[in-house]
Amino acid sequence: MSGLRRYHAPVWDEPVVMEMGSPGRRGFIPPAAGDADTAGFVPDSMKRGERAGLPELSEAEVQRHYIHLAQETLGMMGVNLFGTCTIKYSPLLGERISADHIAELHPGQDPETIQGVLAVLHGMSEILCELSGMDQFVFQAGGGADAAYVNAVTTRAYHADRGELEQRNEIITTIQTHPCNAATAAAAGFKVVTLMLGEDGYPPLEALEAAVSERTAGMMIGNPDDMGIYNPEIKQWVDLVHEAGGLCFYDHANFNGAMSKLRARELGFDACMFMLHKTFAAPFGGGGPAVGAYGCSSELEPYMPRPLVREQGGSYSLEDVDEAPKSVGRVREYWGNVPQIVKAYSWVRSMGAEGIRFASDMSVLANNYMEKRLLEIPGLSISHPDIKSRRLEMTRYSLGKLQEDTGVTVFDVQNRMVDFGVDAPWLSHEPWLVPEPITPEAGETWPIEDLDYWIDVLAQVCREAYEDPEIVKTAPHNQAIGPVDGSRLDEPDQWATTWRAYKRKHGDRPKGRTSP
């Protein structure tokens, strides 16, 4: 074997917290309320009939339990080149600033007392306006998909205000644009018209021409798309949609390869979104907290969510829903995940314009460096091998040949890669356009040694697939758990996401002694 690390994850067989502990055990016992009058404090209608079925454990047990679980996550701590996600290192400084300065604030405070954080929100909006050419940003959305939803409802409000909503009920997207765009358009009540890719790796202009009509409410697309392919005809696209009377939204979540190189507004887009938990180095994973920053032109500003931070003569205030009658209102409580905004702000300020440009170049360079080495691996090929232009910050590959030759699937490859201490790679959103897809994204923060190690791991796993496929098919071997049988994953009688549902479906499990 090459110089790969000898790795093994801790194995704990950690039980579910509900199966641990013992009646009466406590972590912290608060002083009794004494003779304070609590009558009527909780309305009768809200009182429980029975005590809640909570786990009963000591503080140390709880700590240990969660440390064990953290060690059993199969990743998000190793080299993680998870494509379409732009995994970057999140500097600890941002963590400290938000812990030390933000945790104690409350958005309900008088704005006079929180001028600093309002200045940060305002500043972040200005920076994103500079990067995109838009006129105003809002940070309420709790993630990228949520920001796409903000666009769908803003588009809806815009057409409704002009009396055209009934007629304009279609949103155009492309098959390699992140599926949250189609999903949120549908959630907002639109029909979804999707364009298939053409020979160049992006849809032909004629397909768009066939799609636009008086029914077009807007277009929601990413560029580069999830394959890392940039559509150079984008300006004509925007023009076509505008001529038909639709609005154009740029899903800028995959901004790394394009940041500082182009501005959405200059390409004609009316709105765009950035993900602060991706491109702007706020922590990512575990389902949040995240921030989808939504920005739009001054024409759409009346419709976008409120509250917005306004500045006048160096003092900041909040413009709320009641001051913006056409606004779609709130899509979430307060102003969004402020600690994340502060982390992103501290990152972007420390990078500066030069740093942003350099990071963008590095992410494209790193991806193309990886491409050269990856294409030497037998069994692996690139999507759209004939197109001449280079991919930007990520590339879609296929392990279809490996699967044909050996029976080893890309899921098996994922499972085996984690045996070497790297995180499972991202495959592709649905639908799969190439067989057995895999989509690494290098980003700018991983040192070249990490990229090489990741490539070495993939090369090793592919070699094993040809020489000893069983090793790969039965992986993981060095992880916290073995392979999981996912074949009945969509059967509701099998799975439970809460303890109560588990007991209902499977009956009580005997409570054993579980403390190691």
Partner 1 sequence: MAGPTSLRRRIGLIVNPIAGMGGKVGLRGTDGDELQRRARELGATEMAAERAGVALDRLRGQGFTLTVAGGAMGEKVAREHGFETEVTGRFGCHTSPDDTRDAALAMADSGVELIMFAGGDGTARVIRESIGRRIPVVGIPTGVKMHSGCFARSPAAAADVVAEYLGHDPGSVRLDEAEVVDRDADDPKATTTLYGTVSVPEARSRLLAAKSRSSGRDAAAMRGACLEVVEEMVPGDTYVIGPGSTMGWVRRHLGFQSDPLAIDVVRDRELIAGDVTEAELDELTAEAGRVHLVMGVIGGQGSLLGRGNQQIGPKTLERVDPGDLIVVADLQKLIELGSSPLTVDTGDTDIDRRFTGYRPVRIGRKESLIYEVAA
Rounded Cα gap, residues 112 and 72, in angstroms: 45
Q: Write down the least CB distance from residue 180 to ligand PLP, Å.
A: 5
Q: What are phi and psi of 203, to 5 degrees?
A: -70, 145
DSSP 336-358: S-HHHHHHHHHHHHHHHHHHHHH
Report the residue number, 251 or 393, with the smaller CB distance to ligand PLP.
Answer: 251
* Choice from 181, 223, 231, 409 touching partner 1 (CB under 8 A): 409
Structure tokens at 126: 């200005």
Region from 108-116, 143-151, 230-238, 411-419 binding ligand PLP, contact rule CB under 6 A: 143-151
136 binds ligand PLP, rule: CB under 6 A: no
Report the residue number, 65 or 396, with the smaller CB distance to ligand PLP.
Answer: 396
Q: Write down the least CB distance from residue 248 to partner 1, Å.
A: 17
394 binds ligand PLP, rule: CB under 6 A: no
Binding partner at 175 among ligand PLP, partner 1, none, C-beta below 5 to 8 Å by kind: partner 1
Binding partner at 186 among partner 1, ligand PLP, none, C-beta below 5 to 8 Å by kind: partner 1
Structure tokens at 163: 């009396």
Number of residues that bind ligand PLP (CB under 6 A): 14
229 binds partner 1, rule: CB under 8 A: no
11 binds partner 1, rule: CB under 8 A: no
Report the residue number, 136 or 254, with the smaller CB distance to ligand PLP.
Answer: 254
Residue-wise over 237-276: b if at least 16 C-beta within 10 A, else e?
Answer: bbebbbebbbbbbbbbbbbbbbbbebbbbebbbbbbbbbb
Which residue's entry shows tokens 């709105």?
A: 271
Residue 419 · residue 476 · CB < 8 Å? yes
DSSP state of 288: -
* Residue 180 CB burial class (10 angstroms; 0-12, 13-18, ≥19): buried
Residues in 274-293 at the binding interface with ligand PLP, rule: CB under 6 A:
275, 290, 292
Distances (CA, A) of 309 to 42, 108, 429, 499: 36, 14, 35, 42
378 binds partner 1, rule: CB under 8 A: no
470 binds partner 1, rule: CB under 8 A: no
Q: Write down the least CB distance from residue 494 to partner 1, Å.
A: 12
DSSP state of 99: I
> Backbone dihedral region of 69: left (phi > 0), alpha (psi from -120 to 50 degrees) or beta?
alpha
Structure tokens at 316: 């900041």
Report the residue number, 231 or 254, with the smaller CB distance to ligand PLP.
Answer: 254
Binding partner at 211 among partner 1, ligand PLP, none, C-beta below 5 to 8 Å by kind: partner 1
The residues binding partner 1 (CB under 8 A) are 175, 182, 186, 190-199, 203-204, 206-211, 403-404, 407, 409, 411, 431-433, 435-436, 487, 490
The residues binding ligand PLP (CB under 6 A) are 84-85, 143-145, 178, 180, 222, 251, 253-254, 275, 290, 292
